[in-house]
Amino acid sequence: MLKEEILKPISRREHCHHQVFRVERKQKSRISSLISHLKQFRNSISKQRD
């Protein structure tokens, strides 16, 4: 009984942390894709200038 009481909040906190981590990873991937799009865009612009 006592063991369960101690373990429950820990597991809940771990779960929250896991969710936050997943969201952060999603945002990072979105940002990186945005950056790559920007680079391609700049490349195309510089090619048009030539």
CA angle (30 as vertex; 27, 36 as ends), nearest 5: 140
3-state helix, strand, coil in the chain (%, to 5): 95, 0, 5
- Residues comprising the chain, all counted: 50
Rounded to a whole number, what is the distance in angstroms from the first to the last CA of the chain? 74
- 2-49 pLDDT, tens digit per residue, is 677 766 766 777 777 777 778 888 899 999 999 999 999 999 989 887
List the one residue out of 15, 18, 16, 37 whose CA is nearest residue 26: 18
| pTM summary value | 0.49
